[in-house]
Amino acid sequence: MLVIENGIVLEGMDLDPKRVNIAIEDGKITEISREKIPSDHKIDAEGCIIAPGFINAHVHTADSILKDLGDGKSLDEIVKPPMGLKHKMLENAKDKEIKEATRASIIEMISTGTTTFIDYREGGIKGIKLLKNALKGLPINSIILGRDPIFLEENPSTTKLKNRIIKLLRFADGIGPSGFGEITDETAHKIVEECEKWDKIASIHVAESIKAQRFSVEKTGKSEVQRAIDAGFHLLVHFTNPLPGDLQLVSKNKATIVACPRSNGMLATGIPPIAKIHKNVNLLLGTDNIMFNAPDMFREMEYTLKVTRALKGGYFHPREVLKMVTTNFHRFFDKKIGCIAEGFQADLIIVESLSKNPYLSLINRSQSKNIRYVIIKGKIVKR
């Protein structure tokens, strides 16, 4: 049994700061107590904050081979499949190159306190297998959402489409197509239908650009968000440029949104209305494409907090931003992960306290060098 004592623990779904001790056994948090817990294996966390490990809810690790390429090009020129710069370069890259770059990015995530990530994986089953090979021997929790070139076809055979989706779901934890600029409503409905049968995640990018939203309305009379909700998706990525009524639709259907503010800023597509989303909808954060963002949740949280206050023109509590990369995940993914509570998986970080405010200490000041321990599934993986 591992015991962590003498630190400030951000406990429970509301991340309440408490001076308590934590016992970990068989990969789970078995006890949280103000009393001393006897054990021969202890970590003295005096002067530290103990927080849930960070969850990067949207990342593309395959494009780790393309860091900082395409700067100055439009969103479509960089990432729109199948002819975007990213897709053409991935198609011509060697498997070994992709695997090694992906593995390096995953190690970087662990070093910056990320203990779980959701990868939106290009390359079909081959791409999923490459990621699984890159993950070998690494302790991080991964959720892999696949996609297939057949999704881009205008009128794919229903039988062929279903078979491709089923094949993907045998290898992946769900499916994450690019967006409604590339797939039809019929394909979207079939993806969700099969994911529900397999009890797997169906996610899609929506409202990343105002151009995409306008095109969707012109083509179908509906925003991308409405089309996603109509299809049954419950994990929507970006939501940077919602149209009137979009947020109410998401809230009514109890969907979760993953915002990626640094990515949107880098690509000049706007800033997601975090404060408005947060009031109505469960909200997560992701770092998006590694080709133009380091997969560092410290940096994502700091940017999110500051641009949200600027956009709102008022106060936004830093604890709410920290929830977006920790406990809010449990509200979407009904597994005991993302929270420091008895019975939850022991995914924790122990970080030097750099100010009197534990939330701002993590968001505003902490870096990888300030992390003393990363613990995943109860095992120390970085010290």
The predicted model gives 30-54 an average pLDDT of 97
Confidence of residue 151 (pLDDT cuts 50, 70, 90): very high
Q: Is 90 exceeded by the pLDDT of residue 372?
A: yes
Mean pLDDT in the chain?
96
For residues 340 and 9, the answer to whether their CB atoms sit within 8 Å is yes
pLDDT of residue 4: 98
Q: Write down the number of H helices and E strands in the chain.
A: 15, 19
CA angle 53, 284, 378 (to 5 degrees): 20
pLDDT of residue 39: 94
Confidence of residue 177 (pLDDT cuts 50, 70, 90): very high
pLDDT of residue 91: 85
The predicted model gives 336-343 an average pLDDT of 97
pLDDT of residue 214: 97
Report CA-CA distances (Å) from 221 to 68, 78, 118, 178, 209: 36, 27, 31, 20, 17
pLDDT of residue 322: 98
Q: Which of 3-17, 85-99, 236-250 has the lowest mean pLDDT?
A: 85-99
pTM over 0.95: yes
Confidence of residue 80 (pLDDT cuts 50, 70, 90): confident
Structure tokens at 231: 């299809």
Q: Is 90 exceeded by the pLDDT of residue 132?
A: yes
Helices 95-111 and 124-135 cross at an angle (nearest 10°) of 50
The predicted model gives 111-137 an average pLDDT of 96
pLDDT of residue 84: 86
pLDDT of residue 58: 98
The predicted model gives 157-180 an average pLDDT of 96
**pLDDT tens profile 47-74:** 999 999 999 999 999 999 999 988 998 8
pLDDT of residue 273: 97
pLDDT of residue 88: 86
Confidence of residue 332 (pLDDT cuts 50, 70, 90): very high
Confidence of residue 170 (pLDDT cuts 50, 70, 90): very high
Report CA-CA distances (Å) from 45 to 20, 39, 69, 165: 11, 15, 41, 47
The predicted model gives 206-223 an average pLDDT of 97
Instruction: Tell me how long the chain is.
Output: 383
For residues 61 and 119, the answer to whether their CB atoms sit within 8 Å is yes
